[in-house]
């Protein structure tokens, strides 16, 4: 399918990537642009030109009148951004939103989350995943990194909805459950890796060093090497985790992964709240990708990651919301804003984590964290994952710095079109691949069965 998105605006940093020579008017300036989509890839980005059509004052876009495109989307000057990347979440936990609020991580897990998770069925996880996907589409998220169980159910929801995703079967070996989980993870890889025209990829997901024995972590790494896929793991999320690693192994959680040889392959580390300077240097040497989850870390009282130090070192960093159970929303706009503001306050320095950096972490940085190629920028040959944002609202005015306005003033409510892999999945307030009324009905049924409402 060929789609033309006509008459949109771009960030100055995106505009600078293109020669603004206009082939239709022979000028070298354009305030608006056209984006051509061929299948699931961006075909071109070029200055917008319209040609008058008769006395009615209508305009035609070059090429569209000849039937060159299957669909023409009129941008009306709206701002086009790369689709946002929520690099770390647990979609199946969306059903547990608001369950166990205001508790620290380990108490929250042990007393609330793990007991109720034992009651979740594949059907529950399917509807919870679809709920999360719909919420993210409305907020301009086109890619997510998910770790949970009943992952075939999540993969089905991803495939049906059109979301791009990196999926990991969460793995623990508490109580001897690791062998079964590893078998399910391998099956997930066989059935879903690089499926849906490459839109769905798979990683192995050992939960954390404190829920996986050293022997099991090594087994998981060996399996990932045989399958040719990366690992996605929680690392250094709490002070308790740091203390346990020091007491039991005389090192840090990341240091333990290094001693076990796990960092010999590609690894994505979620949270990294308590990375020491040595951890940061080790992560750089080993190309460990980082996912910063400020909202969840704050809500669970886990702490604030040394993001400015990690950025200065040159680590590849994306943003994640974590689950709707530990964050309550899957709103990556909020994570963008938090990722800048909390570190300015923590460091007493308004210059750290500027808006441009937060926006990069929410797009290309997240794709890098998930080991995805050509995702996260509006460029020819890259994935056709993009959003159109209405920046005409009062809260955007006046706009002296567009990128800063995106991060500090913009929000999920400003998204009015979301395209994932060349498919419009949300437009004008309506999800196009998900029946929202049926979804809400089914989610309520699941919640009632579990005694959640």
Structural domain contains residue 406: no
Structure tokens at 289: 């990708």
| CB burial readout 104-139, b (16+ within 10 A) else e | ebeebbeebbeebbeebeeebbbbbbbbbbbbbbbb
| Three-state secondary structure call for residue 84 | strand
69 and 111 within one domain: no
Tell me whether residue 442 is in a domain: no
Give the chain's mean pLDDT.
Answer: 93
Residues 68 and 23 in one domain: yes
Length of the chain: 453
Q: Output 16 or 389, whichever has higher pLDDT.
A: 389
pLDDT for position 18: 82
Domain that holds residue 267: 83-369
Say if residue 43 is in the same domain as residue 90. no
pLDDT of residue 24: 42
pLDDT reported for residue 63: 52
pLDDT reported for residue 66: 40
Q: How many helices (H) and strands (E) does the chain have?
A: 17, 19
- Please report whether residue 362 resides in a domain: yes
Looking at the domain assignment, is residue 349 inside a domain? yes
What would the 3-class secondary structure string for 200-221 be? Answer: EEEEEEECCCCCCCHHHHHHHH
pLDDT category of residue 23 using cuts at 50, 70 and 90: very low
Q: Note whether 201 and 337 are same-domain residues.
A: yes
Element (H, E) at 297: helix 294-299
Q: CA geometry: angle at 325 spanning 322 and 329, to 5°? A: 65
Same domain, 191 and 293: yes
| Residue spans of beta strands (DSSP E) within 184-316 | 200-206, 231-235, 267-271, 289-292
pLDDT at 205: 97
Average pLDDT over residues 173-177: 74
| Terminal alpha carbon distance of the chain | 43
The answer to whether residues 46 and 66 belong to one domain is: yes
Q: pTM value?
A: 0.94
Boundary-marking domain end, from 334, 354, 369 = 369
Return the structure tokens found at 229: 């896929």
Do the domain assignments include residue 436? no
Whole-angstrom distance, CA of residue 19 vs CA of residue 36: 16
Considering 344, 369, 394, which residue would you say is the last residue of a domain? Answer: 369
Sign of CA dihedral 76, 77, 82, 84: negative
Asked whether the bond before 398 is cis by omega within 30 degrees of 0, the reply is yes
Please count the structural domains in the chain: 2
pLDDT (0 to 100) of residue 65: 47
449 in a domain, yes or no?
A: no
Q: Tell whether 20 and 142 lie within a shared domain.
A: no
Domain boundary among the residues 369, 397, 413 is at 369
Q: Is residue 13 part of a domain?
A: yes
| 338-364: average pLDDT | 98
In this structure, is residue 64 part of a structural domain? yes
Same structural domain, 48 and 116: no
- Mark whether 99 and 73 lie in a shared domain: no
The pLDDT score that the predictor gives to residue 112 is 93
From 367, 328, 322, select the one nearest 90 (Cα to Cα).
322
Same domain for 188 and 332? Answer: yes
What residue has token string 């604030």?
Answer: 304
CB atoms within 10 A of CB 23: 10
Write the CATH number for 360.
3.20.20.140
Each residue's pLDDT tens digit, 100-157: 899 998 899 999 999 999 999 999 999 999 999 999 999 999 999 999 999 999 999 9
- Say if residue 353 is in the same domain as residue 292: yes
Residue 29: the pLDDT is 47
Pair (58, 114) in one structural domain: no
């Amino acid at each position: 399918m060929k789609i033309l998105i006509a008459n949109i605006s771009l960030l100055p940093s995106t505009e600078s990537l293109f020669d603004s020579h206009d082939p239709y008017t022979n000028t070298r300036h354009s305030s608006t642009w056209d984006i051509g989509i061929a299948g699931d890839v961006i075909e071109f980005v070029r200055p917008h030109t319209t040609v008058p059509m008769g006395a009615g004052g209508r305009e035609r876009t070059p090429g569209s009148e000849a039937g060159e495109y299957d669909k023409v989307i009129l941008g009306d000057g709206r701002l086009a951004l790369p689709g946002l990347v929520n690099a770390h979440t647990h979609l199946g936990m969306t059903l547990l939103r608001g369950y166990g609020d205001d508790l620290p991580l380990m108490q929250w897990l042990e007393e609330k989350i793990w007991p109720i998770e034992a009651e979740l069925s594949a059907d529950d996880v399917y509807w919870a995943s679809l709920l999360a996907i719909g919420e993210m589409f409305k907020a301009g998220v086109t890619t997510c990194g998910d770790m949970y169980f009943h992952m075939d159910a999540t993969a089905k929801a991803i495939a049906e909805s059109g979301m791009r995703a990196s999926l990991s079967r969460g793995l623990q070996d508490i109580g001897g459950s690791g062998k079964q989980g590893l078998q399910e993870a391998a099956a997930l890889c066989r059935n879903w890796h690089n499926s849906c025209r490459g839109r769905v990829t798979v990683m192995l997901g050992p939960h954390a060093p404190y829920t996986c024995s050293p022997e099991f972590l090594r087994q998981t790494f060996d399996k990932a090497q045989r399958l040719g896929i990366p690992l996605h793991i929680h690392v250094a999320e709490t002070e308790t985790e740091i203390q346990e690693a020091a007491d039991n192994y005389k090192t840090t959680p990341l240091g333990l992964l290094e001693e076990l040889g796990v960092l010999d392959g590609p690894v994505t580390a979620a949270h990294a709240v308590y990375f020491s300077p040595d951890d940061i240097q080790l992560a750089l040497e080993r190309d460990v990708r980082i996912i910063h989850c400020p909202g969840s870390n704050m809500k669970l009282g886990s702490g604030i990651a040394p993001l400015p130090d990690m950025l200065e070192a040159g680590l590849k960093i994306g943003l994640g919301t974590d689950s709707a159970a530990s964050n309550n929303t899957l709103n990556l706009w909020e994570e963008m804003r938090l990722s800048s503001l909390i570190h300015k306050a923590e460091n007493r320095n308004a210059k750290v984590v500027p808006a441009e950096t937060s926006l990069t972490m929410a797009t290309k940085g997240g794709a890098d964290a998930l080991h995805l190629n050509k995702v996260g920028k509006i460029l020819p040959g890259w994935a056709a994952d993009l959003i159109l944002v209405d920046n005409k609202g009062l809260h955007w005015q006046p706009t002296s710095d567009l990128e800063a306005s995106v991060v500090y003033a913009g929000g999920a409510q400003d998204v009015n079109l979301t395209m994932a892999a060349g498919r419009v999945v949300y437009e004008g307030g309506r999800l196009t691949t998900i029946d929202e009324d049926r979804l809400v009905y089914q989610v309520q049924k699941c919640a009632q069965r579990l005694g959640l409402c």
